[in-house]
Every structure is written in C-alpha cells, then in structure tokens.
Amino acid sequence: MKLFIILFISFISLFVNAQYTDFLIGIDCKILQNEKYGKAERNVFDIIMPAAGKPTALIIFIHGGGFAFGDKKDAYEYGKDDIKYYLEKGVAFATISYQFYKTDDSIGIGRCLNDVKTALQYIRHNALKYNIDKEFIGCYGISAGAGSSLYLGFHDDMAFKNDTTLLGESTRIKCAGAIATQATYDLFRWMDYIPNLKFVVSLRKKQFYNSIANFYGYRDYHSFKPMEKIVPQQFDMLRMISADDPPIYVINLKEERFPKNYDIIQHHREHALVLSEYLEKSGVKHFVYVYNDSIKSDKDVNLPIRDFMVNHLK
C-alpha cells in the first residue's frame, strides 16, 4: 500500500509538471524539471534546451514574491511566448526556485541571494550536461527576481579562486533584466529617493523599521540596530555598480507615485530612475523605461526585454 501511494504521488507530480510545459508541444527541445542545485527543498530549477549540436547561450528567470513567496513555475504563467521565442532563437531557458528569507536567523535575504548565486554556479559547473556555453548566461526576473538579477549583474565575481567545485565557477553574467525592480536592498536608502516615503515611514515608524529588521533576518529593530550600518550595505546594489558591469534592462511601469502601500514602495518608478543615474555615471550600457505619457504598458516599449536578452547573448 505504501509503495502504491509513493508511485501515485510521483505520477501526479509528473503530470502536474508536464502541464506547465505543454505549451512547448511541437517544439524540438529537451525539458528537465526539478533539477537539484542544493540540499534544501526549494533548491530546484527547470531547464529547457533547444535542439542544438553545439553549446547554447542560457537565460535564467528568477521569480518574484518579495523573497517570501513565488515559485519557478511563475515563468510558465507569465512568459510562455518569451520562452518559445528564446528556443526559436537557439537560446536555452531555465527557471529557478530559491529558499525564502527567515526573520530570526541573522541571514535574512542573504539566504535567497546565495541560493540564486549557487543555482547559477551549479548550471555553469554542469554546462556539459545542459549543453550550455557558460560564457553566455544572462538573468532576468520580476520584483525580487529583478533585484536578484541586478545583484548578480553588479556584484564582483563571487567565485572561490582555485576551487574545483561549483563554488569556483564565476558569478558574472552577460546581461541582466529587471521588471518592476528595486534599485537597492539597503532599504534605508529608499527613503532618500522615493518622494514622501520619509513622511509615510514617520507615521508608522515601528512597523516599517521592524519590517526592515525582518528582511535582514532579525526579529525586530531593537535586535537589528547594532548591525544597521553594516548589514544593509552588503546588499546595496547601487554601491556595487562599476564600469565593467554588463548591459542592464529596467522596466518599472507602476503609475502611482505616492507611497501609500508596500506594492507602490517596492515597485516605484524612482527605483528605475535612480538606477539610470548611477548606470549613466559609471558608463554602463542600459535601457530604462518608466510609466509616462508615451509608455503605459510593455507594449509601448520599443525594445522588449526578450529582444534585449537575446541580443546580448547571441
């Protein structure tokens, strides 16, 4: 009976996973699902490889959800046409899951970003298995996945020198795309460039500051305060930007300006605009789009993100 239950659950799992990719029926490609890149339950990814005789470029999708929700299958919900487009252009596609942050481990979003980094390194380390040219990998995502992509794009190489395991693989990428992104994960800096945010925070200071502490893995602001000047800087993507960074694509189409809720705060157009300023100063090639009179949806943008990704990998 126990064996039957295990087999039944396995069958259901395979059936459900197949449903996510049934839009690829008729396309000559190889699909591998729930590949493991680490020990945690959420250390998994799917990879879809076009029929190709030689190693191909790879685009990695990183899901959103505030580092507390979301799943790799989100890529299939939001990006079926994009995935088809990549495969038609001879580019492989991967979508990853990662662990969510905890509010009491003094690691916080570091856990999520480390998983994203490790997934990239794992795929590079197994490039032969996945028929990937590991020199041509780009990342993009939505919200938390967007910020994660920028983190990889701006961060110095995190490879361990002379390490022959996956940790010795480079973490540098050829391009990064960010949809509804945050400019930095030093959350205190948001108050410097999002208009009226300081005022909103002053009305609910305890709530906001405790939430910030939770983000970095601390139960409350009181326990986090001794680390306030140290921890956030480790996740400040704006500080990481340098002239050798890859091309960047940013699109924040949130119309609302007054930061009345977390959704507006996290996806405010000013995140994109401040990124544009820093990238311009450093001479990094970039394309930045925000909501305005002529751009109200992604259909109004002259360069779709999928074209940006492919153009910088082919």
CATH (domain of 94) = 3.40.50.1820
pLDDT at 17: 63
Alpha-carbon distance of 189 to 203, in angstroms, equals 18
| Residue 145 confidence (pLDDT) | 98
- 149 located within any domain: yes
Q: What is the pLDDT of residue 14?
A: 42
What are the pLDDT tens digits along the chain (314 aa)? 544 444 343 444 444 466 899 999 999 999 999 999 999 999 999 999 999 889 999 999 999 999 999 999 999 998 999 999 999 999 999 999 999 999 999 999 999 999 999 999 999 999 999 999 999 999 999 999 999 999 999 999 999 999 999 999 999 999 999 999 999 999 999 999 999 999 999 999 999 999 999 999 999 999 999 999 999 999 999 999 999 999 999 999 999 999 999 999 999 999 999 999 999 999 999 999 999 999 999 999 999 999 999 999 98
Burial of residue 269 (CB within 10 Å: 0-12, 13-18, 19+) is buried
Handedness of CA 177, 111, 156, 159 (dihedral sign): negative
In a domain? residue 255: yes
Output the CA angle 133-135-140, nearest 5 degrees.
95
Q: How far apart are CA 143 and CA 268, in angstroms?
A: 11
Residue 9 is assigned to a structural domain of this protein: no
State the total domains in the chain: 1
In a domain, 204, yes or no: yes
With respect to residue 144, please indicate whether it lies within any of the assigned structural domains: yes
Q: Which domain holds residue 273?
A: 29-311
Provide CB contacts within 8 A for 11, sequence distance 6+. Answer: none
Q: Are 274 and 193 in contact (CB under 8 A)?
A: yes
The answer to whether residue 102 sits within a structural domain is yes
